[in-house]
A and B are shown apart, each in its own frame.
Chain A
Amino acid sequence: GQNIDQPTEMTATEGAIVQINCTYQTSGFNGLFWYQQHAGEAPTFLSYNVLDGLEEKGRFSSFLSRSKGYSYLLLKELQMKDSASYLCAVRDQTGANNLFFGTGTRLTVIP
């Protein structure tokens, strides 16, 4: 089966840095995605990692270690609008490359 774990909730201060971790155990691996989801809205794509290392995109960075089954999303210079749920999703190699999601981490940014 597929198992993807991430913390349920996190709180951080505006202007700070926060790291959201994700560990996974899947039958196959063909990439890891991070999505942001505001309440009542669609999940929106943030980042993609398929090789080990750090991918940087503006204030957001994502890291992957395939040997450890581990990823993190790093958010810098936090803004109030960054309060949202952050979803870790792994694409396997079986079937049609479907995504398996974690339950999401609800991040609250406080002044």
Chain B
Amino acid sequence: EAGVTQFPSHSVIEKGQTVTLRCDPISGHDNLYWYRRVMGKEIKFLLHFVKESKQDESGMPNNRFLAERTGGTYSTLKVQPAELEDSGVYFCASRPQGSGNSPLHFGNGTRLTVT
């Protein structure tokens, strides 16, 4: 089965610009998560979708971040306008619904650099 795929793998943008990250979860996985790792820090939770609904967005840093999952398939994470502190690696992960203790399957991440 295809894994979690993320696009782009790298993005370099200037402060104030907009960037949209995309995540395609494993087919059939209802749960989709976004995480972020800032340089030197731990991977931190951003938000969680169950199908197209936001289950928990308590980790979103501020209203410059907008995540969507229309149709409950792929998800996008838009940062507008980007700030320097948004630089980091953004990971997407998925797992099946009702899967109890099944682990998250992660994508390779998108490395975002804001200059």
Chain A residues near B (Cβ < 8 Å): 4, 31, 33, 35, 40-45, 48, 50, 87, 89, 95-96, 98-104
Contact = CB atoms under 8 A, between A and B. Distances in A.
Contacts of A44: 106
* Residue picked from A48, A96, A100, A104, most chain B C-beta under 10 Å: A96
Interface residues of B, number: 26
Nearest to A6: B42
A96 B101 contact: no
B55 A33 contact: no
Contacts of B3: 42
15 contacts: A31-B101, A33-B103, A33-B104, A35-B103, A48-B103, A50-B101, A95-B55, A95-B56, A95-B58, A98-B33, A99-B35, A101-B35, A101-B42, A101-B43, A101-B44
The list of the 6 closest CB pairs from A to B, nearest first, reads: A45-B103, A42-B106, A101-B43, A95-B56, A103-B42, A96-B55
A98 B45 contact: yes
B104 to A, nearest CB: 7
Contacts of B35: 99, 101
B42 A104 contact: yes
* Residue picked from A31, A98, A99, A103, most chain B C-beta under 10 Å: A98
Interface of B: 3-4, 31, 33, 35, 40-45, 48, 50, 55-56, 58-59, 91, 101, 103-109
Contacts, number: 55
Nearest to A47: B103
A4 B105 CA distance: 21
Nearest to B6: A42
Given A42-B91, A48-B103, A96 B50 contact: yes
A102 B4 CA distance: 22
A99 B55 contact: no
A98 B108 CA distance: 19
